Amino acid sequence: MNQTSNILIVDDEEVVRRAHLRSLEQTGCRARAAENGYEAIRVMEEHPFDVVLLDLRMPGLNGMDVLKTIKDRWPECEVVVITGYPTIESAKEAVRLGAFNYIVKPVGPDDVVKAANDAMIQKRWTLHSAHPDRGSEHPEHTGRRRSPVTH
């Protein structure tokens, strides 16, 4: 049985969460949403996700703090920052903290899918590079899915 990509969407705006969920679920991946940083960390503790799509400006725990926590505790998770308030400083900080990508809102469905797909490719490449002997294994025997999120 193949596993699908697990994507966590973290945004305080419900309309954004629903739109991203809808876009990602159409690709066959498993997507879940969290409405704030505290919920995101709690959800990650229950089941770490492959990719996190993360808003920066949220009440309570902001996106940079969430990014730092995720990369400290789950370094294999790829994080894509999606913000409506871009600055050069926040982009530099996000990359310094380990974000895979930094995208400016508004984003369309194809942008969300591409961002998640690119992050999954990066994650799989990183895992493969860290464990080159895994490349000879068949996904059916390992329980891992090797193909990225599909359109």
Question: Is 60 exceeded by the pLDDT of residue 70?
Answer: yes
Q: What is the pLDDT of residues 26-41, one digit of tens each?
A: 998 999 999 999 999 9
Residue ranges per domain, the chain? Answer: 6-142
Q: What is the pLDDT of residues 99-121, one digit of tens each?
A: 999 999 999 999 999 999 999 99
Average of per-residue pLDDT across 10-22: 97
Closest CA to 126 of 142, 148, 104, 151: 148
CA distances from residue 11 to 37, 128, 138 in whole angstroms, order as listed: 8, 30, 36
Q: How are beta strands 51-54 and 78-83 bridged, if at all? A: parallel
Q: Return the CATH number of 6-142, one of 2.60.40.10, 3.40.50.10280, 3.30.565.10, 3.40.50.2300.
A: 3.40.50.2300
Q: What is the pTM of this model?
A: 0.83
Q: What is the pLDDT of residue 129?
A: 72
Query: CA-CA distance, 61 to 21, in Å (whole number)?
Result: 22
